[in-house]
Amino acid sequence: MKFRKMVHQFDRALSQIEVVFMAIAAILLFVMIFTVCFSVVGRYFLGIPAAWTVELSEYIMVFLAFLSASWVLRKDGHVRLDLLLNTLSPSKQLLFNRITAIIAAIACGLFFWFSLKATIDNYQRDVISYNILNTPKYLVLLPIPLGSLLLTLRYIRNILSDFKI
């Protein structure tokens, strides 16, 4: 019973972090929409090009993908091949889902580890992405380990849920 309560508290904390990350992603999406519109209006109507908006949009897309991935998984919104899955019996579907969740948790955990190492390395070496904005590279990489960690934890939570824990 105590373990079940800990899992429930873990799920609540994870869900709250996912909501915060999703809110940040939503704000960034609006920033991207605004800057792209600003760029189009500036270029075509005012004759003022804003090339920095393309680079900013590229960075925001990385944030959008990784900050929202765990929330999408919690809402069961990721793409899956139902055509194959629907041909299996319910018990085999459950087994297939458990196996894929375990494989995904391991893959996301490895992705978290290697992306964290790359992010820390870029921070320590003070690597700058010399484009229009001259952005420190670790800032662009930061959402990758954060999102991968949350995705790993969500897969682990889903595995525990499949076992009715």
Give the pLDDT confidence of 8-49 residue by residue, as tens digits.
Answer: 888 899 999 999 999 999 999 999 999 999 888 888 888 887
Helices (H) and strands (E) in the chain, counts: 6, 2
Q: How many residues does the chain have?
A: 165
Reading phi first (left if > 0) and then psi (alpha if -120 to 50, else beta), residue 131 is in beta
Domain range list for the chain? 2-162
Mean pLDDT of 131-136: 88
Residue identified by tokens 């972090």 is: 17
Query: pTM, whole model, 2 decimals?
Result: 0.85
Nearest C-alpha neighbor of 154 from the set 10, 4, 25: 10
Dihedral sign of CA atoms 82, 66, 21, 113 in order:
positive
